[in-house]
């Protein structure tokens, strides 16, 4: 029996040959590389490309984060600057308000009007922002609003200074002008036509204002002048009338007591009577009226 010999396997070609031809007349260059080296080179090249891409991405991300942090720092800095400016503006406004208040009191003294604290008037109220919160644009809006208030205060300050100059030059007139509240109380009946308070369906003209206060409350002269009547009047009960000059006459009715006499000269703010309920009255109050050139006018037009 014949035994056939197995033919040997042909070895696989594990290398590649690269032919480089430099030119038409140049000699071709043959370069042989094993498969494993080509594979390793490909993996290395891929790794380098991937690593470069990752580094590039991380670099861009870091730059973006740095830019974001810088923006936050800038916004925070702007907010701090806005708050600082707002604080300075508020301080300036408060100083101006104090100055205006002093000027107003000076004008009132020249006019003979008691300061509001002495007659227990309610102070005017306003809103001052003491801080800034929220977004940056809100802070800027508040800052702009504060500056607008400051501009308005500047305008008012100029007007008050003008008034001070005028009052200084015409002090006698303004002291005589009946613009001092005679008592501090609520107005229960205004000036003008009204329904009669004495159970009548008819309307009657009320030539003054009724100010409610307790019996015995001091009644003050509304301006410098001379007492032209001090006694009993129909309807008004115990009444005082003062001629202030310049066409002004003031009347104070329904008093419980009269503290001046006809012919007395009185100063603005001086006590002339005590509030009561005499004459035709539905309760304790002061009837206060003003005549200008022998015509009835609303006292509210003159009172501060």
Q: What is the mean pLDDT of residues 9-28?
A: 63
The parent domain of residue 229 ranges over 186-301
Mean pLDDT lowest for which of 92-96, 223-227, 250-254? 92-96
Rounded Cα–Cα distance for residues 39 and 15 (Å) = 11
Residue 126's pLDDT band, with cuts at 50, 70 and 90, is: very low
Query: Do 80 and 160 share a domain, yes or no?
Result: yes
Percentage of the residues of the chain whose pLDDT score is greater than 70? 78
Look at residue 247 and tell me if it is in a domain.
yes
Query: What's residue 33's pLDDT?
Result: 67
Mean pLDDT over the full length of the chain: 80
Task: Identify whether residues 142 and 216 lie together within a single domain.
Answer: no
Tell me the HSE value of 6 on the side-chain side, using a 13 A CA sphere: 3
Tell me the average pLDDT across 8-21. Answer: 61
pLDDT band at 178 (very low <50, low <70, confident <90, very high): very high
The residue that leads in pLDDT, 191 or 3, is 191
**CATH number of the domain encompassing residue 245:** 2.70.70.10
- Report which of residues 21 and 271 the model is more confident about: 271
Structure tokens at 225: 């002048």
Residues 201 and 166 grouped into a single domain = no
- Please indicate whether residue 206 or residue 70 has the higher confidence score (pLDDT): 206
Using a pLDDT cut of 90, give the percent of the chain over it. 37
pLDDT at 107 over 60: yes
Tell whether 191 and 172 lie within a shared domain: no
pLDDT at site 128: 41
Confidence of residue 157 (pLDDT cuts 50, 70, 90): confident
pLDDT of 83 higher than 90: no
Judge if pTM exceeds 0.85.
no
Note whether 157 and 192 are same-domain residues: no
Q: Is residue 122 predicted with pLDDT exceeding 50?
A: no
How much is the average pLDDT of 22-27?
Answer: 66
pLDDT band at 168 (very low <50, low <70, confident <90, very high): confident
Mean pLDDT of 244-272: 97
48 in any annotated domain: no
Whether residue 118 contacts residue 218, with contact meaning beta carbons closer than 8 Å, is answered with no
Residue 101, judged by CB atoms within 10 A of its CB (0-12, 13-18, 19+), counts as: middle
Q: Are residues 121 and 224 in the same domain?
A: no
**Are 172 and 245 contained in the same domain?**
no
């Amino acid at each position: 029996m014949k035994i056939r010999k197995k033919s040997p396997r042909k070895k696989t070609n594990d290398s590649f040959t690269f032919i480089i031809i430099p030119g038409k007349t140049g000699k071709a260059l043959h370069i042989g590389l094993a498969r494993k080296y080509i594979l390793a080179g490909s993996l290395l090249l891929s790794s380098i490309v991937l690593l470069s891409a990752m580094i590039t991405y991380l670099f861009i991300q870091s730059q973006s984060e740095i830019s974001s942090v810088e923006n936050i720092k800038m916004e925070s800095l702007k907010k701090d600057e806005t708050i600082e400016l707002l604080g300075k503006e508020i301080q300036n406004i408060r100083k101006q308000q104090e100055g205006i208040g002093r000027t107003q009191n000076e004008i009132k003294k020249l006019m003979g009007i008691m300061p509001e604290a002495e007659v227990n008037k309610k102070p005017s109220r306003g809103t001052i922002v003491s801080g800034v919160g929220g977004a940056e644009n809100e802070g800027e809006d508040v800052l702009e609003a504060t500056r607008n208030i400051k501009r308005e205060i500047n305008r008012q300050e100029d007007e008050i200074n003008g008034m001070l100059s005028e009052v200084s030059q015409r002090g006698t007139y303004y002291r005589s002008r009946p613009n001092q509240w005679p008592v501090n109380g609520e107005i229960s009946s205004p000036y003008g036509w009204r329904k009669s308070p004495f159970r009548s369906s008819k309307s009657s003209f009320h030539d003054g204002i009724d100010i409610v206060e307790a019996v015995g409350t001091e009644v003050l002269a509304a301006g410098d002048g001379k007492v032209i009547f001090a006694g009993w009047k129909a309807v008004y009960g115990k009444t005082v009338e003062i001629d202030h000059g310049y066409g002004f006459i003031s009347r104070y009715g329904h008093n419980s007591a009269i503290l001046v006499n006809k012919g007395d000269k009185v100063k603005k703010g001086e006590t002339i009577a005590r509030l009561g309920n005499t004459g035709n009255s539905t309760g304790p109050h002061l009837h206060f009226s003003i005549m200008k050139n022998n015509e009835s006018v609303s006292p509210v037009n003159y009172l501060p």
